[in-house]
Each structure stands twice: as C-alpha cells, then as structure tokens.
Amino acid sequence: MPVLAQVLDRLDQALAHTRQRQLLDSARLVVVDNGPGAGWREPLRKLLGSTRLAAGSELLSGHGNVGYGTGHNLALQRGAGDFHLILNPDVLLAEDALSEGLAFLTAHPDAGLVAPAARDGAGRPQYLCKHYPTVLDLALRGFAPGWLRRRFQARLDRYELRDRMGEGVLWDPPIASGCFMLCRREALERIGGFRPEYFLYFEDFDLSLRLAAVARLACAPRIRIVHLGGHAARKGPRHVGLFLRSATLFFGQHGWRWW
C-alpha cells in the first residue's frame, strides 16, 4: 500500500497547514474499507497506526463492497464538522490544498462544493469539471481509438471545460469529479449524500447535479492535487459493464443527450 501511505502523509501535511493558518481546529479521518472480506483490515489498521493521523482516525471495515457512494455515505454519517472532504485513495494533496479550499468555502457561503486543479502522475493537466455529458462524448472519451478522438479533440476540450479554465475561479461547472470534493456538510446532508443505486461510476455526476440545486459549485485553481487514477472505461470488461450500467442509470434519471 505504498500509494495509500503517500496519500495519508500528504493529507497529514495538508491538515497541519490548515492548523497553522488557523482555518481548522480539529479533523476526523474516516477510512472506508470496501473490500469483500477482512483481508485488508489489519494492514490498513497498521498503516493508520503508523501515521500522525491515527489519533483522529476511524477505520470502517467488514461491511463488504457496498459501492463507492454508499461507502462514502458511511463516512459522512460518522462526521460532525462544517466541512466534509471526499477523497480518493489515489489523490496526493499539495500542502496548502485544504487551506485554500477551506478559505474559499469560508469566503463564499453560497458555495457547497469546491473542486481543485489537478495533474496526473506525469505532471499533465487533468480537467475534473465537465459539461453535462452526451452519449457521444462518453463514447469518444472511453472507447474511441486515438485517431478518432483526435478528430473530435475540439469537442472533447469543450466537454472538459478547457475553454473556461484559467487562472480565476470557475463558477457553476455542471459536473465535478468525485476524486476530490470539498463540500459544505449542510449541503451534502440536504441532498442525502450519494445515491446508493450507483455502485460505481457516475455517482459524482449525479451528486454534482443534485448539489447544484441547493448550493453553488466552483473550481478553484489555487487548490492543487495530483490524481493518479482515471480512465474508468479502460480497466477491463467488468469495469466497462459497471460503467455502462451507471451511465444508463444516470441518463435515465437526468435526461438522455445523444449528441
């Protein structure tokens, strides 16, 4: 679990930075083990115990693989603070990432979620906020060969809001990625968190749209992360099946857009 150890170390540094800036008095870390059995429980417990986060942490394990959104809902139920961070185990925070996010939400009480600027492990930009998807957009991004994607690059750039991303804050992006969502707890609780019917994929799309009905979404480029994951549709047949199932559910609930 070398990546997770690095994730936790970066999280610890980011929390220390918030305390230095007097933006946060205390924090509670909830790690959700969605493994099918108890095989990861002790390794995770030992890893948490070896970090400075141990005193304020809780490991939820033994419930089986209940899905991405339901797992995060379990963590949401354990917290009590004003803010709630949804964080993937493959995201490395810049030291000031949480400080910038908390300062933003404090300064903008109408905001319910703030997303970061991201790069992948090779330093290339990732665009985490997106337009409402069409079936064509998803097919091109997930399944089209490279030569065909290049022919539609301008369209894909617009889908990823590249024309709107700059130095300033991007307000009201329709979709924010679930790899890092710094949220106002009150807004999350108003919408009931993630919908449990999304086992994997599109739960963040659905959450973004429902959250936008009660608060504003924003992307603040001063919040910086490295996201080591992505490319959901290229992880094998099972993941492709889960992707297609959740896409059908999403469009069925929010409306189909083909082109």
Tens of pLDDT, residue by residue over 20-33, are 999 999 999 999 99
More confident residue, 128 or 36: 128
Within a 13 Å sphere around the CA of 133, how many CA atoms are in the beta-carbon half?
22
Task: Give per-residue pLDDT as tens, 59-95.
Answer: 999 899 999 999 999 999 998 899 999 999 999 999 9
Question: In this predicted structure, what is the pLDDT of residue 56?
Answer: 86
pLDDT tier at 259, thresholds 50, 70, 90? very high
Does domain 2-254 match CATH 1.10.1040.10? no
The dihedral sign for the CA sequence 183, 72, 242, 35: positive
Residue 99: pLDDT over 90: yes
Cα separation of 42 and 1, whole Å? 12
Domain residues of the chain, as ranges? 2-254
Q: Write down the pLDDT at residue 160.
A: 97
Residue written as token pair 């999403």? 250
Residue 202 burial class via C-beta count within 10 angstroms: exposed 0-12, middle 13-18, buried 19 and up: buried
How confident is the model at residue 167, as a pLDDT? Answer: 77
Q: What is the pLDDT of residue 230?
A: 60
Residues 6+ apart with CB under 8 A from 229: 88, 90, 91, 179
**CA-to-CA distance for 31 and 48, rounded, in angstroms?**
9
Asked if residue 232 has pLDDT above 60, the reply is no
* pLDDT tier, 39 (very low <50, low <70, confident <90, very high otherwise): confident
Mean pLDDT of 106-130: 97
Q: Tell me what the pLDDT averaged over the chain comes to.
A: 94
Enter the pTM of the model.
0.94
In this predicted structure, the answer to whether residue 190 has a pLDDT above a threshold of 60 is: yes
